[in-house]
Amino acid sequence: MRIILGVSGGIAAYKSVLLLRLLREAGHSVRVIPTAAALRFVGAATWEALSGEPASADVFDDVPGVPHVALGQGADLVVVAPATADLLSRAASGRADDLLTATLLTARCPVALAPAMHTEMWEHPATRTNVALLRERGVHIIEPASGRLTGADSGSGRLPEPADIAREALALIPSSSCAKSQDLAGKSVVVSAGGTREPIDPVRWIGNRSSGKQGIALAKTARTRGAHVTLVAANIEDAEGAADVVIPVETCLELRQAVRDAGAAADVIVMAAAVADFRPAMPAAVKIKKAQGPASIDLVENPDILAELIREPLRAGQVVVGFAAETGDETSEVLEYGRAKARRKGADLLAVNVVGEGLGFGTATNEIWLLNAVGEQVAHAAGSKREVADAIWDAVIAL
């Protein structure tokens, strides 16, 4: 395949060096088109040495070759990583003031943009409008990840890992060589993600540390592999755009209703959400005052949504996947808990992961063991949450 790798001027440009290597190692010919600002972060020599092709930002280089038209016309895929706020703005308004934006206007192949910028810029209404407009025109936006940004700050706007960008962008190429990447085509899946909040009073709740990242990765990878995805998002900030349908929920009971409604027509339900086992019996209608002294809260048990889905399937042949976040000193101990839970819950697959200090919740990487309904291990996966998500879908498809 002929790939154009656009690089705009953000510090994450250094990650695109690895992206270039991955695309080349996958057997593609890659032409890098940096912007002038990108060349201040990573020089042309690096791009040229690794791609084996010229890397110019300027429409006036090689005028007889008419590169500002020819490069876009000849491409099977254009991927821009990082796509800065400025690049998104220029692309949205149809500017053609350098070789990269001119190429974006002439390309008729799939185009993927991987935005990366500080959270404030990513959340600014101008950027939101540009992203919405580009999406409307059929541009594929690779959602930025959350996490450490340039300095000590962190938030949404981080460039995803190069392997994840490569996988998501390559899946856009409609060719038989990508058939595997569409192995969920025609399937409808429901993924619950995040952590429920059970109200104590109008301002307080009982909750948990689940970030929803693994569930978002499951939704995105399923979509990339062709599924129609409904994401039931319990208190997740970055859910927008992660699925075909996003249903925001807060409590266990809301999550249960949303999963049951969307799940009635689903081929697969993945319960990645961390659901509170108990809720306050009588949430106070007004804020509980400190002067009332230490309040004791009566709890009642929440329904086990996963157990219900297995006891009374919403649809014949539906595959149900559960999660078990366990703590333990030894992997063997965690796996023992997991095996007992797999047998107790009886889900088609149970993804067991170790959580605790720096592990599982809120981190960019994960490690899981997939157990079947009788507690036998059918797969093990470790890596980015998208890699782990892909391994879970592989196991679902194998079923």
Kindly list the residues in this chain that would bind ligand C5P in the complex (CB under 6 A): 252, 271, 273, 275, 277, 302, 304-306, 322-324
Least distance to ligand C5P from the beta carbon of 308, Å? 8
Q: Please say whether the beta carbons of 74 and 2 come within 8 A.
A: yes
Can you read off the two tokens belonging to residue 86?
Answer: 């400025």
Q: Decide: residue 8, CB within 10 A, 0-12 exposed, 13-18 middle, 19+ buried.
A: buried
**CB closer to ligand C5P, 29 vs 327:** 327
Least distance to ligand C5P from the beta carbon of 224, Å? 23
**CB closer to ligand C5P, 145 vs 342:** 342
Residues in the chain, total:
399
- φ, ψ of residue 284 to 5 degrees: the values are -70, 140
**CB closer to ligand C5P, 28 vs 197:** 197
Least distance to ligand C5P from the beta carbon of 181, Å? 26
DSSP 111-131: EEEEE---HHHHHSHHHHHHH
**CB closer to ligand C5P, 147 vs 199:** 199
At 398, which amino acid appears? A
Specify the 3-state DSSP secondary structure of 396: helix
Least distance to ligand C5P from the beta carbon of 155, Å? 26
**CB closer to ligand C5P, 71 vs 190:** 190
Question: What is the C-alpha separation between 196 and 249, in angstroms, rounded?
Answer: 8
Q: Please say whether the beta carbons of 93 and 85 come within 8 A.
A: no
Q: Please say whether the beta carbons of 207 and 235 come within 8 A.
A: yes
Question: What is the C-alpha separation between 115 and 131, in angstroms, rounded?
Answer: 9
**CB closer to ligand C5P, 73 vs 327:** 327
Q: Please say whether the beta carbons of 45 and 19 come within 8 A.
A: no
Least distance to ligand C5P from the beta carbon of 296, Å? 22
**CB closer to ligand C5P, 75 vs 388:** 388
Least distance to ligand C5P from the beta carbon of 277, Å? 5
Catalytic residue, from 208, 235, 302, 372: name it. 208
Active site residue 130: no
Nearest-5° Cα angle at 380, 167 to 367: 75
Least distance to ligand C5P from the beta carbon of 238, Å? 19
DSSP 159-206: PPPHHHHHHHHHTTS-SGGGGGGGTTTT-EEEEEEEB--EEEETTEEE
Question: What is the C-alpha separation between 13 and 11, in angstroms, rounded?
Answer: 5
The catalytic residues are 208
